[in-house]
């Protein structure tokens, strides 16, 4: 590595993080906690002002954690400030555009902001999930427009984020990190940089290997969730309880990993990331058939839930039309307040379209406005539960009294097996 990169070589580098969402802000805090001076950069003036006043907009970062690092973490919306950092981390969204096409516009904007301030001695690392080739084919050319040269003036690598929102056991500091550079010096520099504040770093041959590793991780989940959703339909058709089957299979201490059926796949990772891989595969004429099949199965789950509810009401001589349905849980997974891509919204829309009178309770989500559904949360009081023709458990937050729900409800369709998993057994509770 050339002398201009000595701060990275000697572990005295300063940091800048571009994009302060659920990935970027925890990264700022983790680096500052490791004693690294870090600039948090975001295009949102509002975000920067709130953070500068010590207010966090991210569940996994408390105001207290922000306050504890205020000596080392500062915030700016001025891209010129990026020039001061020796290492710049890009943590911006990578949504899907229409037709499930990758949308790398946020990455391009971030790279342009960095290129405008690029100076000799900087290492740039992309963390956002994207298709193999983005770092070398999209980011590198933008940085080189500055006139600076790879390896001589700047280094560039990819290190996929592995944040698991709401996970109390694994946070940025103790999750192993894969790193791959667009050059050997870039890989070496990224390995050194992450090694300064992370427990375990796994260098790979190049950025494409690292980009692909991340997509494999999340496609693995996408496909296995679809597998277990399909298994649930097969189990139901042959009169077997899928939840007992999974608990039995889990006793195998190797070669099996439990996934659970549900009402669909939400969040901003799992339903999106596999389509980056599918898009890249198609460019070379390859098929990604598992991804497509998993999409068919997972996308069908909201309709499966609605027809299961219709059957359960029918068994009680009740029609879906006019039925009062209390949905429990609209967040995309337990104990988070994020409802992006949550199947709950689609299910509520389908139920409303079928003429059901739908309300929802979720201690983490006070109101929803998405997928054409606009609702304020209600309290799951004993009266509200008793008044419902059916309670539909879609997300099983921990801070809900499932025993009370099962005791007061006329009917519960429990798509997460939330009741029985907590020792609550009642003939009024049916599972998906």
Q: Which residues are catalytic?
A: 269
Q: Which of 295, 297, 300, 313 is closest to 392 using CA atoms? A: 313
Report the C-alpha gap between 245 and 251 in whole angstroms: 10
Q: Does position 358 bind ligand SAJ by CB under 6 A?
A: no
Question: Minimal distance in Å, beta carbon 366 to ligand SAJ?
Answer: 20
With a CB cutoff of 8 Å and minimum separation 6, the contacts of 96 are 102, 103, 272, 275
Q: Are 182 and 156 in contact (CB under 8 A)?
A: yes
Residue 129 or 135 with smaller CB distance to ligand SAJ: 129
Q: Which of 271, 251, 276, 267 is closest to 103 using CA atoms? A: 276
Kindly report the three-state secondary structure assignment for every residue of 140-174.
Answer: HHHHHCCCCCECCCEEEEECCCCCCCCCCCCCHHH
Residue 131 or 154 with smaller CB distance to ligand SAJ: 131
Q: Does position 158 bind ligand SAJ by CB under 6 A?
A: no
Q: How far apart are the first and last CA of the chain?
A: 57
Residue 260 or 279 with smaller CB distance to ligand SAJ: 260
Question: Minimal distance in Å, beta carbon 361 to ligand SAJ?
Answer: 18
Q: Which stretch binds ligand SAJ (CB under 6 A): 257-265, 315-323, 357-365, 417-425?
A: 257-265
Q: Does position 218 bind ligand SAJ by CB under 6 A?
A: yes
Helix, strand, coil share (%) of the chain residues, nearest 5: 40, 15, 40
Binding residues for ligand SAJ, rule CB under 6 A, total 19
Q: Are 132 and 280 in contact (CB under 8 A)?
A: yes
Question: Minimal distance in Å, beta carbon 6 to ligand SAJ?
Answer: 32
Interface mask (CB under 6 A) for ligand SAJ, residues 105-144, using x and -? ----------------------------------------
Report the C-alpha gap between 14 and 194 in whole angstroms: 12
Residues numbered 376-415 forming contacts with ligand SAJ, rule: CB under 6 A: none
Residue 79 or 262 with smaller CB distance to ligand SAJ: 262
Helix (H) or strand (E) holding 430: strand 429-431
Residue 223 or 323 with smaller CB distance to ligand SAJ: 223
Residue 162 or 177 with smaller CB distance to ligand SAJ: 162
Interface mask (CB under 6 A) for ligand SAJ, residues 258-297, using x and -? -xx-x--xxx-xx---------------------------
Question: Minimal distance in Å, beta carbon 250 to ligand SAJ?
Answer: 12
Question: Minimal distance in Å, beta carbon 189 to ligand SAJ?
Answer: 23
Q: Are 415 and 305 in contact (CB under 8 A)?
A: yes
Residue 30 or 140 with smaller CB distance to ligand SAJ: 30
Taking the mean position of all CA atoms in its chain, how far away is CA 99?
Answer: 20
Which residue among 225, 305, 347, 432 contacts ligand SAJ (CB under 6 A)? Answer: 225
Helix axes 289-314, 343-353, angle to 10 degrees: 50
With a CB cutoff of 8 Å and minimum separation 6, the contacts of 272 are 94, 95, 96, 129, 341
Which residue among 24, 40, 165, 181 contacts ligand SAJ (CB under 6 A)? Answer: 165
DSSP, residue by residue, 112-147: HHHHHH--TTEEEEE-S---TTHIIIIIHHHHHTTS
Which residue among 27, 28, 126, 162 contacts ligand SAJ (CB under 6 A)? Answer: 162
Question: Minimal distance in Å, beta carbon 41 to ligand SAJ?
Answer: 21
Q: Does position 163 bind ligand SAJ by CB under 6 A?
A: yes
Burial (CB < 10 A; 0-12, 13-18, 19+), residue 411, is buried
Residue 177 or 221 with smaller CB distance to ligand SAJ: 221
Q: Does position 332 bind ligand SAJ by CB under 6 A?
A: yes
Residue 103 or 217 with smaller CB distance to ligand SAJ: 217
| Number of Cα atoms under 13 Å in the Cβ half of residue 107 | 25
Burial (CB < 10 A; 0-12, 13-18, 19+), residue 299, is middle
DSSP 389: S
Q: Does position 221 bind ligand SAJ by CB under 6 A?
A: yes
Q: Does position 370 bind ligand SAJ by CB under 6 A?
A: no
Phi-psi region of 200 (alpha: psi -120 to 50; beta: other; left: phi over 0): beta
Q: Does position 177 bind ligand SAJ by CB under 6 A?
A: no
Question: Minimal distance in Å, beta carbon 267 to ligand SAJ?
Answer: 3
Question: Minimal distance in Å, beta carbon 215 to ligand SAJ?
Answer: 10
Q: Does position 220 bind ligand SAJ by CB under 6 A?
A: no
Contact set with ligand SAJ (CB under 6 A): 161-165, 217-218, 221, 225, 259-260, 262, 265-267, 269-270, 332-333
């Amino acid at each position: 590595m050339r002398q201009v990169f000595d701060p990275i070589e000697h572990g005295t580098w300063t940091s800048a993080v571009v994009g302060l969402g659920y990935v970027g802000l925890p990264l700022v805090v983790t680096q500052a906690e490791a004693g690294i001076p870090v600039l948090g950069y975001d295009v949102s003036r509002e975000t920067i002002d709130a953070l500068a006043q010590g207010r966090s907009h991210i569940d996994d970062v408390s105001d207290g954690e922000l306050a504890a690092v205020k000596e080392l973490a500062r915030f700016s919306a001025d891209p010129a400030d990026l020039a001061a950092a020796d290492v710049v981390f890009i943590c911006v969204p990578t949504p899907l555009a229409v037709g499930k096409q990758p949308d790398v516009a946020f990455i391009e904007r971030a790279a342009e902001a960095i290129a405008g301030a690029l100076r000799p001695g900087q290492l740039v690392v992309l963390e956002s999930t994207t298709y193999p080739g983005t770092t070398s084919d999209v980011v590198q050319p933008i940085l080189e427009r500055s006139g600076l040269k790879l390896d001589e003036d700047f280094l560039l690598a990819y290190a996929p984020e592995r944040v698991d929102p709401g996970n109390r056991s694994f946070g940025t500091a103790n999750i192993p990190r894969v790193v791959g550079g667009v050059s050997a010096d870039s890989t070496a520099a990224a390995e050194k940089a992450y090694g300064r504040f992370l427990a375990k770093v796994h260098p790979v041959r190049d950025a494409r290997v690292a980009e692909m590793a991340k997509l494999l991780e999340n496609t693995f989940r996408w496909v296995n969730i679809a597998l277990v959703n399909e298994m649930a339909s097969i189990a139901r058709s042959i009169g077997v309880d899928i939840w007992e089957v999974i608990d039995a299979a889990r006793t195998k201490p190797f070669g099996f990993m439990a996934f659970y059926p549900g009402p669909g796949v939400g969040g901003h990772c799992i339903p999106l990331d596999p389509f980056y891989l599918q898009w890249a595969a198609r460019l070379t004429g390859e098929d990604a058939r598992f991804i497509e099949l998993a999409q068919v199965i997972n996308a069908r789950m909201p309709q499966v839930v609605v027809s299961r509810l219709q059957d359960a009401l029918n068994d009680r001589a009740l029609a879906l039309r006019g039925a009062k349905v209390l949905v429990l849980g609209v967040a995309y997974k337990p104990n988070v307040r994020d409802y992006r891509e949550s199947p709950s919204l689609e299910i509520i829309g389908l139920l409303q379209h079928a003429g059901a009178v739908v309300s929802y309770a979720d201690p983490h989500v006070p109101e929803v406005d998405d997928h054409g559904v606009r609702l304020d949360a209600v309290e799951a009081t004993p009266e509200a539960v008793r008044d419902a023709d059916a309670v539909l458990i879609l997300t099983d937050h921990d801070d809900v009294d499932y025993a009370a729900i099962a005791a007061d409800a006329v009917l519960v369709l429990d798509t997460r097996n939330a009741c029985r998993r907590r020792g609550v057994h009642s003939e009024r509770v049916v599972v998906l």
